[in-house]
C-alpha cells in the first residue's frame, strides 16, 4: 500500500465532504499541519467541525478557514491570538465547545484507544460541567467526557518512513499524536521521508498503523509571538 502522495491536495482527495468532523494537531502555530489546512481551504469544503487546541491566527493555520467561513464549529481550549475567531463566536456565527486542554487531549487519545468515555474532575462546578453526567468516586465528584472519533485527522510530523511511522520534533509533538489516533483516516504532512528501516524503533512516536497518507513539503513554521530585546549599546 503506497502511503506517499505528491502534494497536500492529492493526499486529501476522496476524503472530504461538507459537514465532516476533523481533528487537527498543533498548539498555537507550533506543529500545525499548515499545508493540509491550505489544501482544505482550496477544496472549498464547508460546515466543518474541527477539534483543535486553538484556531491559529487570523491569516495562518486554521484561521484561514475561519476567514473563508468554512468552519461551523470549533472544539477548542483557547481562543486568544485570533480576532476573527473571537468575533465570529461573540456574534453567534461560530459554534464553540470549550474543553480544558488536558481534557481535549484525553478525549482524542481515548477515541483513538476505543474508549467511548472517561470521568475527570476537571471542570466540575463550572460551565464545562453543564449537561454532563456527574459521578462520585471516593468522595470526589467527576464528570463524564466523551472520547473523540473524527472523520479525518490532519497532523504535522518531523520525519516519516514509507510505512507511516512518525517522529515528532520536540514541542511540535503536542496534540499531534492523540489527534492522529482518533481519526478514521489520518493524513500526515512531514518535513522528511526517510527510507524504510532507517528509523530506530525506540524513537518512533506514532506507529504507522495509525497513518494512512503522507505528504512531504516545505513549511513556513511561523512564530506566533516574537519578542526581542533591544540591542545594548556601549
pLDDT in tens, 148-203: 999 999 999 999 999 999 999 999 999 999 999 999 999 999 999 999 999 999 99
Domain boundaries, the chain: 25-117+146-215
- Assigned fold of 25-117+146-215: Glutaconate Coenzyme A-transferase (3.40.1080)
**Beta strands 4-5 and 213-216, pairing class:** parallel
pTM of the complete model: 0.93
Residue keyed to cell 512518525: 166
pLDDT tens digit string along 32-57?
A: 999 999 999 999 999 999 999 999 89
| The pLDDT value given to residue 234 | 63
pLDDT tens digit string along 11-38?
A: 999 999 999 999 999 998 999 999 999 9
Task: Check if the beta carbon of residue 34 is closer than 8 Å to that of residue 156.
Answer: yes
Exposed, middle or buried: residue 59 (CB in 10 Å: 0-12, 13-18, 19+)?
exposed
Amino acid at each position: 500500500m503506497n502511503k506517499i502522495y505528491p502534494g497536500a491536495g492529492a493526499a486529501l482527495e476522496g476524503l472530504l465532504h461538507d459537514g465532516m468532523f476533523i481533528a487537527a494537531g498543533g498548539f498555537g502555530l507550533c506543529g500545525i499541519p499548515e499545508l493540509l489546512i491550505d489544501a482544505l481551504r482550496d477544496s472549498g469544503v464547508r460546515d466543518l467541525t474541527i477539534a483543535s487546541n486553538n484556531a491559529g491566527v487570523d491569516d495562518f493555520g486554521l484561521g484561514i478557514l475561519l476567514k473563508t467561513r468554512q468552519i461551523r464549529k470549533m472544539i477548542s481550549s483557547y481562543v486568544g491570538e485570533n480576532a476573527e475567531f473571537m468575533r465570529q463566536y461573540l456574534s453567534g456565527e461560530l459554534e464553540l465547545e470549550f474543553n480544558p486542554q488536558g481534557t481535549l487531549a484525553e478525549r482524542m487519545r481515548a477515541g483513538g484507544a476505543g474508549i467511548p468515555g472517561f470521568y475527570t474532575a476537571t471542570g466540575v462546578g463550572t460551565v464545562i460541567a453543564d449537561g454532563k453526567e456527574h459521578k462520585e468516586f471516593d468522595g470526589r465528584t467527576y464528570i463524564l467526557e466523551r472520547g473523540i472519533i473524527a472523520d479525518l485527522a490532519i497532523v504535522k510530523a518531523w520525519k516519516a518512513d514509507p510505512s507511516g511511522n512518525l517522529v515528532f520534533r520536540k514541542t511540535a509533538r503536542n496534540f499531534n499524536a492523540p489527534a492522529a489516533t482518533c481519526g478514521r483516516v489520518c493524513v500526515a504532512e512531514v518535513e522528511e521521508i526517510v527510507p524504510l528501516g532507517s528509523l530506530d524503533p525506540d524513537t518512533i512516536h506514532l506507529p504507522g498503523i495509525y497513518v494512512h497518507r503522507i505528504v512531504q513539503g516545505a513549511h513556513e513554521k511561523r512564530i506566533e509571538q516574537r519578542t526581542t530585546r533591544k540591542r545594548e549599546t556601549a
